[in-house]
Chain A
Amino acid sequence: MKAKNKGKDFCIFALLGILFFAAVVIVPFVYGVYLTFTDWNGVSQVKNFIGLKNYIGVAKDTQFWTALLLTFKYVIVVVILVNVIAFGIAYLLTRGIKGQNFFRAGFFTPNLIGGIVLGYIWQFVFSRVFVNIGEATGMKLFEISWLSDPDKAFAAMVLVTVWQLSGYMILIYVAGFMGLSEDVLEAASLDGAAGFNKLRYIVLPLMMSSVTICLFLTLSRAFMVYDVNLALTAGGPYGTTEMAAMHVYEKAFTSRQFGVGQAEALVLFVVVACISGLQVYLTKKKEVEA
C-alpha cells in the first residue's frame, strides 16, 4: 500500500469508529477516574479534591475484598464449565446431526431471557421445583431451597451463569467451526476411535482464535456479574454471595459512598484487566494465522 494513502485510509476506515468509542467510553471513564479523587457524592454541586482518601476507604472495606475473593472462586468455576460445555455442544452441532438448526435455535433461546425475569424463573426452579422433587423423592440435596444455604446458593449462581453464558458462547464457537474448511471438518468427524485425538491436535489449534475470544468474554463477564447476582440471590443468604460488581453498586448507591464505590470499580477494573490481559497474551500465542 502506498504511504500517501495512510492518512486517508485512517480517516475512512478508523476515525469515525474511534470517535464513537472515545466519546462514550473513554471520556466518561477518564472523568470517572478524576471523580475518585474528589469527595463528590454523586449529586452535590461541590467537588473537593481529597487525594487518595477514597482509595484508603477501599483498602479498609473488608467486605469488598471478601466479595472479590468470592468472585475469583466463581470466575474460575464458570470459565472452565462454560467453555468446556459450549465447545462440546458447538462441536456436536456442526457435525451435521439431524435437526442441528433446531438445536442451535434451542440453545440460543434461553439466552433471550434477561434481568429480573431470569432471576425469578430460576428462583422458582431452586426454591420450588427442586424442593418439589425433594419432597417427592426424598433426596437430601433438594430438601431445602438452594438459595437459603450459602454454599448451594453459590452453586446456584454458577449453574445459572453457565446456563446463560454457554448459550452465547455456543454461538461464537459454532461460527468458529463453520469457518473451518470442509477438509478439516471431515477429518475431525466423530469417525472412529481417533476422533478425540483429531479434535485435540487438528481442530483445537485451528479454533484457538474462537477460544481466545470466548475465554476473554467469559472471563470479563463472570468478573462483572451483576444482573444474575442481583436477581437470583441479591447477595443472600445474609450477604454470602455478594460478588464484586454488586458490592461496588451497593457501596455507591445503597451505602451512598459514591467516591469509595467509584474507586472500587476502578480497582476491580485493574484486577480484571491484568488477568484477562494475561489470558489473551497466553492464548494468542497459540493461534494459527490463516
Chain B
Amino acid sequence: MKRKGIARLLALALTGTMVMGTLTGCTFGFASDPDDPNEVEEEIPIDTSVDTYEYRTDLKGTEISVLNTKAEIQVALEEIAVIFEEKTGIHVEIMPVTDGDSPYTKVVSLYNAGNPPTLSILDTTDVVALAEEKAEDLTDEPWTAEAEGYLTEINGKIYSFPLCVEGRGLIYNKAVIEEALGETFDPATVKTQEDLVELLDRLVAAGIEKPVSLAKEDWSLGAHQLQYVYETYDGTTDGAAQVIEQIKSGELNLRDYDRMNGFLDLFDILKKYNVAKGDPLGADYDEMAIDLADGKTAIWLNGNWAWPNLKEAGADNDDEYGFLPYFMSNDENDFANQKIQGSASKQVMMDGQMATEDEKAAAKEFLNWLVFSELGQQLVVYRCNIIPPFQNNPYEPTDPLSRSIYEHVQNGETFSASAIVPNDHWSILGGAMQKYLADRCDREELIELIEAYWAEQE
C-alpha cells in the first residue's frame, strides 16, 4: 500500500510539473548558475593558545538557559555553550524563539509557565517593560565599565547586558558606484542631501536608472526610518526621550520641527530614485539585497544585520560596502550628516525572580566570560559575527558592513541615540509611512497620523 502511495505521489508531482513546464517554461527565465555547492565556507580559526581568564570551578553542574531571539546566531551560540561547558562545567541551554513568536510573547509565556530562561536576549523596549518586576540588577557587574554609552539605565539601574552594536544608514556598493562613474568614490565627499541628489543624478546619467532600494516593510519604515526623527534631536537617548515627550504633550508641532521636515525631504529623495518606484509597496526585501550586490542599484537603506542577505546574494567579505549617514539637512556641520546611528539593539536580561543563586552566579559568569576571556571575545566576533559594544574586545569584525560600523565607532562617527518607543510604534506608524511611500497620503496627513498615535499613548 505504502509503495503504491509513494509511486502515485511521484507520478502526481511529475505530471503536474510537466504540465506547468510546457505552460510557462518558455515565457520565463531559466535558472542561473548557482554558487558551486562544493565550496566550503572557511571559518576564521579561534586562537586557543592564550587563555588568561580565571575560571570559577564551584559552579560545576549548574544549568542555565538562554532564550535566543536572534535566529542567525543560534548555531554560533550553541557552539559557544559547548566550549563554555568544557571550561566551567556549567551547562548552557540555548532556547530558540521559533518563527511566529515575538520575543516578548515567548518570554511572557515562559514566565507564565513558571519556567523563564535565566538569560533572555530581548529588544530594549522589552527590557524596559519587564525589568523592574522580573530582572536581576546588573549595575555592579564588571563589564558595565567597558560598555560606556551602550548601557540602558532604568531609574538609575542597569538591568541588561548590551549584546551587540548595530548601526544603520544608507548602504552603498562602492564598486558599483565607481564603475558607473569611472572614478574612485570617497564617501566623505557626500555631506548633505544636495550632495546625495547630485550623486544619484550622476548614477542615473551613468545608466543606473533607479539607484535606490527602499524597503516597504513596516518595521523598516516605522522603526528604522521614522525613528531618525527622534534620534537626531541631539543624538542621545535622553534627547530622543525628551522630544517624544514634547510631541506627546503637543508642545512641539511636528510641522515646525526641522528634523521632521529634513527626514521627509530625504525620504522624498529616496522615493524619487526608488528602484520599485512604479509599485513601491510591491518591493521585495530579498530582491533588494540581490539588486545591490548585482549593481542594479547602488544604495539601500538598512543596517549591518543585512550582511547575511547580501552574502547570500553573492557579495563577498572582500567586497567594499559601507554606510553613508542618513542625511537630515543641507548643513555640512549637522552631526546627523556626519555620523551614523549605532546603538546596542539587543539586550540580555537576567531573570531575578525565579532563578536560584547558583543559576544567577553561573549566568553572570557566562556574561563576564564573553566580555573578558580571549576565547569569549573571539567567539562573539568571529562566530556570532556581531560587533560587541565592549571597548576591551580587540577583535575586529570580518564582514564589510560590520567593519564599516566598527570603523565609524572607532573614529567617533556614530551617535548612539536609541529612541524608546511603545512596542506597536513600528507597526502602526510603519503603516502610516507605507501610505506616504505609496503616495496615498501627503505630509500633512502623515503628520496627523503620527500626532494621533502619540496622543493616544498614556
Direct contact of A and B (CB under 8 A): yes
Closest to B29 in A: A132
The answer to whether A43 touches B102, judged by C-beta atoms less than 8 angstroms apart, is no
Q: Which residues of A contact B432 (CB under 8 A)?
A: 238
Name A75-125 residues within 8 Å CB distance of B: 102, 105-106, 109, 115-116
The answer to whether B434 touches A238, judged by C-beta atoms less than 8 angstroms apart, is yes
For the complex, what is the distance from the CA of A210 to the CA of B445, rounded to whole Å? 50
User: When each residue 89-110 of chain B gets 1 if its CB lies under 8 Å from chain A and 0 otherwise, what string results?
Assistant: 0000000000110101101100
The answer to whether A239 touches B279, judged by C-beta atoms less than 8 angstroms apart, is no
A237 close to chain B: CB less than 8 A:
yes
For the complex, what is the distance from the CA of A105 to the CA of B8, rounded to whole Å? 9
CB distance from A221 to the nearest CB of B (A): 18
- Asked whether A238 and B431 contact (CB < 8 A) given A43-B134, A116-B99, A253-B105, the answer is yes
For the complex, what is the distance from the CA of A151 to the CA of B193, rounded to whole Å? 36
The answer to whether B424 touches A237, judged by C-beta atoms less than 8 angstroms apart, is no
User: When each residue 1-40 of chain B gets 1 if its CB lies under 8 Å from chain A and 0 otherwise, what string results?
Assistant: 0000000110010001000000000011000000000000
- Asked whether A45 and B422 contact (CB < 8 A) given A238-B434, A238-B435, A238-B440, the answer is no
For the complex, what is the distance from the CA of A128 to the CA of B102, rounded to whole Å? 28
Q: Which residues of A contact B112 (CB under 8 A)?
A: 42-43
- Asked whether A44 and B282 contact (CB < 8 A) given A102-B8, A105-B12, A237-B438, the answer is no
The answer to whether B108 touches A148, judged by C-beta atoms less than 8 angstroms apart, is no
Most chain A CB atoms below 10 A, which of B12, B129, B282: B282
For the complex, what is the distance from the CA of A43 to the CA of B108, rounded to whole Å? 6
Q: Which residues of A contact B312 (CB under 8 A)?
A: none
A225 close to chain B: CB less than 8 A:
no
B278 close to chain A: CB less than 8 A:
yes
The answer to whether A235 touches B431, judged by C-beta atoms less than 8 angstroms apart, is yes
CB distance from B223 to the nearest CB of A (A): 12
- Binding site of B, secondary structure by majority: helix, strand, loop or mixed? helix
The answer to whether A255 touches B422, judged by C-beta atoms less than 8 angstroms apart, is yes
The answer to whether B133 touches A44, judged by C-beta atoms less than 8 angstroms apart, is yes
A148 contact from B102, B218, B281, B427, Cβ within 8 A: B281
A147 contact from B12, B102, B281, Cβ within 8 A: B281
The answer to whether B278 touches A144, judged by C-beta atoms less than 8 angstroms apart, is yes
The answer to whether A237 touches B281, judged by C-beta atoms less than 8 angstroms apart, is yes
The answer to whether A43 touches B111, judged by C-beta atoms less than 8 angstroms apart, is yes
Closest to B110 in A: A43
Closest to A133 in B: B27
Name B411-438 residues within 8 Å CB distance of A: 422-424, 427-428, 431-432, 434-435, 438
For the complex, what is the distance from the CA of A143 to the CA of B282, rounded to whole Å? 11
Q: Which residues of B contact A132 (CB under 8 A)?
A: 27-28
Q: Which residues of A contact B181 (CB under 8 A)?
A: none
For the complex, what is the distance from the CA of A45 to the CA of B218, rounded to whole Å? 33
Q: Which residues of B contact A116 (CB under 8 A)?
A: 99-100
B284 close to chain A: CB less than 8 A:
yes
Most chain B CB atoms below 10 A, which of A109, A147, A238, A253: A238
Name A134-181 residues within 8 Å CB distance of B: 136, 143-145, 147-148
CB distance from B10 to the nearest CB of A (A): 12
B254 close to chain A: CB less than 8 A:
no
CB distance from B43 to the nearest CB of A (A): 30
Q: Which residues of B contact A148 (CB under 8 A)?
A: 216, 279-282, 438
For the complex, what is the distance from the CA of A106 to the CA of B16, rounded to whole Å? 10
For the complex, what is the distance from the CA of A127 to the CA of B279, rounded to whole Å? 10
- Asked whether A253 and B438 contact (CB < 8 A) given A43-B112, A44-B133, A127-B284, the answer is no
A256 close to chain B: CB less than 8 A:
yes
Closest to A137 in B: B27
For the complex, what is the distance from the CA of A143 to the CA of B28, rounded to whole Å? 17
B73 close to chain A: CB less than 8 A:
no
Pairs A–B under 8 Å by Cβ, sample size 10: A115-B100, A131-B279, A131-B282, A143-B279, A148-B282, A148-B438, A238-B438, A250-B427, A254-B424, A255-B423
B interface residues (Cβ-Cβ under 8 A, vs A): 8-9, 12, 16, 27-28, 99-100, 102, 104-105, 107-108, 111-112, 129-130, 133-134, 216, 218, 278-282, 284, 422-424, 427-428, 431-432, 434-435, 438, 440
A interface residues (Cβ-Cβ under 8 A, vs B): 42-45, 102, 105-106, 109, 115-116, 127-128, 131-132, 136, 143-145, 147-148, 230, 234-239, 250, 253-256
